[in-house]
Amino acid sequence: MHNKTIVITGASSGIGAAAAAALARRGARVVLLARREDELERIAQSIRAQGGAALAFPVDLASEDALNACVEKILAQIPQVDVLINNAGRSIRRAISDSLDRPHDFQRTMDLNYLAAVRLSLKFLPGMLERNAGQIINVSSQSTQLPMPRFAAYVASKSALEGFSRSLAAEMAGSGIAITIVNFPLVRTPMSSATKLYRKLPMLSAEQAADWLVRAVEKRPARISTRMGRAMALSTATLPGIAAQLNGRLMNYAARRLAK
């Protein structure tokens, strides 16, 4: 990936920051996007201090106007973007029964997890189509592969992103542009740490998750997932009712046990 330009969203911490560092070590020029300007610049400076190439563009990706202005700045400095990694995301853990008066939870989750990724893809696709080369990597979750209680807003946004990705992959067939979905299991990041239940469960480290994204760039697969995730997706596809009932009861039981 020497001299490839890779745009990474959510790059100020967690998976995005670790992936930016890992990709830069392999010779890529990384373009970092996130809201927190100070943290973003700290990551960029760390990469440059180790001999890597990094540019920081602070932006609120949930704002369409801010996103459009940011992309204009990027393309004015870097005409060619080889890889887009849509990694930025937010998660809300709340039962639907407790969300009846909170439709804004679904809206703001969709704005960042789905619409921001779609808008960025549409902005960088013209250059990729012109060159008949490029890749879009959309970070999803293992939670889309099995019915997951209390995360309806998050799972819905990631499921929408996967649907977009599959349609885009079909349209890009033969174009030289690869579309990759990455279904991460639990990863120990500031976002996952907000859920107390998850703190007691085994997780990937941010660095291990970053290795998945490096592999996605190197191998350009249609999907990266775990064996468990693939088995979960198969059970959901073949026995949707049973899968929902069993996983709902299992998750509720686990929550009660781990809360003790």
Known catalytic residue: 154?
A: yes
Pick the closest to residue 143 from 204, 83, 229, 76 (CA basis): 229
Residue with tokens 């201090």, as numbered in its chain = 49
Residue 176 sits at φ, ψ, to 5 deg, of: 90, 0
Per-residue exposure over 30-43, b if at least 16 CB sit within 10 Å of its own CB, e if not: bbbbbbeeebbeeb
Residue with tokens 């920051």, as numbered in its chain = 17
Options 114, 154, 198, 253, the catalytic residue? 154
Contacts with 151 (C-beta within 8 Å, 6 or more apart), sequence order? 91, 92, 93, 143
CA distance 214 to 7: 13
Enumerate the active-site residues.
154
